[in-house]
Structure 1
Amino acid sequence: MPEANDSAHPRTTRTGGRIRSEDARAAVLAATADLIEEAGYGAVTMEGVAARAGVAKSTLYRWWKTRATLALDAYGQAVARRMPTPDTGSTAADLTAFVEELYRVVEHPFRVNALRGLMAEAQLDPAFAEQFRSWVRSRRAIVTDLLARGVAHGELTPGLDLEHAADLVFGPFWYRLLVGHTPLDPADAPAHVRTLLSGFAATPPGA
């Protein structure tokens, strides 16, 4: 039978430590996101984030080995909150809402800076590249799920190559973001989606 001290206190101690740890982690992610929003990816340093979050730098390294992994975690969480999965009952409306919000990154230059910086890191650091691809896959999964729903509802052609279709959705975004040959504009999203869906649409029987 456990002694009284064993049963009375350990649970409270562990829970308090867990809460403090979660609070510290949330403070670090918030500080990182704020730095990205205010000054861009280049402003993110482990020292600067630690000071802003009010934690020791060793606390950061316990969870994130590099500033790139930290920035990706913070940016990814911010994107997930800003871009919930649309579900209006219409594939066209859902995809348009997603693409409009995707393109809206240009309204925040430091977010553009962050994406470009993270993409550059992914080309130079093989270990980070896999983390970056994992995050990209999570964003692509939203689109492939929307398209699969459209196929299931008879809005899109059966047998649609969902991975290729997702490439076509994200292609203009990344190409324009990275090359800068022409601007990204949220106002273009409806037309872009209409063009895409005209190629994905199910053919009416007898057509």
Structure 2
Amino acid sequence: MTAAADILEEHGYQGVTIEGIARRSGAAKTTIYRWWDSKAELVMDAYTHTVAQRMPEPDTGSVRDDLVAYTAELYDVVNHPLRVRALRGLMAEAQLDPGFERPFRAWVATRRQVVAAILGRGRDRGELRPDLDLEHAVDLLFGPYWYRLLVGHLPLDPREAERHIDQILNGLRAPLGQLAPETDAG
């Protein structure tokens, strides 16, 4: 699995072959095929394992601190250009190859589960509203990440994680008493 993840980051998904993985890992192709039905399943299993090791689930006892720590690690991908290229390639492949879509979505689900667990703990501790829509809240965290990663209209900056999480947690509404002044429509 290490060989698959390394080749993915070095050459992109299209550059990954079972032969290359076998050569680098020293495993026989038959052994690889015995454990995985397809290149897509092997690559996404390998990346699930790799990313989970790189980004373990924080549990500080504070939903805010956990989200800031997780988001800073998430945004840190910009300091690893090969990872950025691999992630962009994986997203593109998932849009173009129906056989790749399912393993990719399964990988995405593992990352979403981490954030949902953080938010769920925060809800259980009373830090977040009890009727929180976890799925939507997870989207609020990952949406800007993927959008900036793929479109590149603004940078991902780990130093911005705290501000981004505070904005999510506080919502977009101005605090009472600090509403914007009325404008003349006239």
Do the two structures share a fold, i.e. TM-score over 0.5? Answer: yes
Show the counterpart of 2:79: 107
Residue matched to 2:121: 149
Q: How far does the alpha carbon of each residue in 1:86-138 deviate from its partner, in whole angstroms, 9 at most, with x for none? A: 11111100000011111111111111121122212211222321221122112
Listed as ranges, the gaps of 5+ residues in structure 1 are 1-28, 201-207
Structure 2: unaligned runs, 5 residues or longer: 173-186
TM-score (norm 1): 0.77
Aligned equivalent of 2:145: 173
Q: How far, CA to CA, are the matches of 1:74 and 1:130 in structure 2?
A: 15
Residue 42 of structure 1: how far off its partner (Å): 4.0
1:31 has 2:8 as partner: no
Are 1:118 and 2:97 an aligned pair? no
Match of 2:170 in 1: 198
Question: Do 1:33 and 1:74's aligned partners in 2 also have CA atoms closer than 8 Å?
Answer: yes
Tell me if the contact between 2:40 and 2:103 (Cα under 8 Å) persists in the aligned partners.
no
- Closer, same or farther in 2 for the Cα pair 1:121/1:66, shift >3 Å? farther
Q: Hey, what does 2:156 align to over in structure 1?
A: 184
Q: 1:36, 1:107 → 2: CA distance?
A: 17
Most deviating of 160-169 and 115-124: 115-124
Residue 92 (structure 1) aligns with = 64
Distance in 1 between residues matched to 2:134 and 2:10, nearest whole Å: 36
Kindly report the root-mean-square deviation, in angstroms, between the aligned alpha carbons of the 2 structures: 1.7
Residue 99 of structure 2 corresponds to residue 138 of structure 1: no
Q: CA deviation at 1:148?
A: 1.5
Residues 28-64 of structure 1: per-residue CA shift (max 9 Å, x gap) = x121222234444343222111111112223222233
Equivalent pair of 2:63/2:127 in contact (CA under 8 Å): yes
Cα displacement (A) at 1:184: 1.0
Whether contact under 8 Å (1:96, 1:190) holds in the other structure is yes
Residue identity in the other structure for 2:33: Y
Question: Do the aligned partners of 1:68 and 1:118 also contact (CA within 8 Å) in 2?
Answer: no
Question: Under a length normalisation based on structure 2, what TM-score does the superposition of the two structures give?
Answer: 0.85
| Contact residue 5 and residue 50 of structure 2 kept, 8 A | yes
What is the count of residue pairs matched by the alignment?
Answer: 172
For 2:157 and 2:45, how far apart are their aligned partners in 1? 26
Query: Residue 67 of structure 1 corresponds to which residue in structure 2?
Result: 39
**Which ranges of 4 or more aligned residues in structure 1 deviate by more than 4 Å?**
none
- Please give the secondary structure, in 1, of the residue aligned with 2:171: helix
When structure 1 is superposed on structure 2, of 94-103 and 41-50 the one drifting more is: 41-50
More helix by share: 1
Q: Which moved more, 1:66-75 or 1:184-193?
A: 66-75
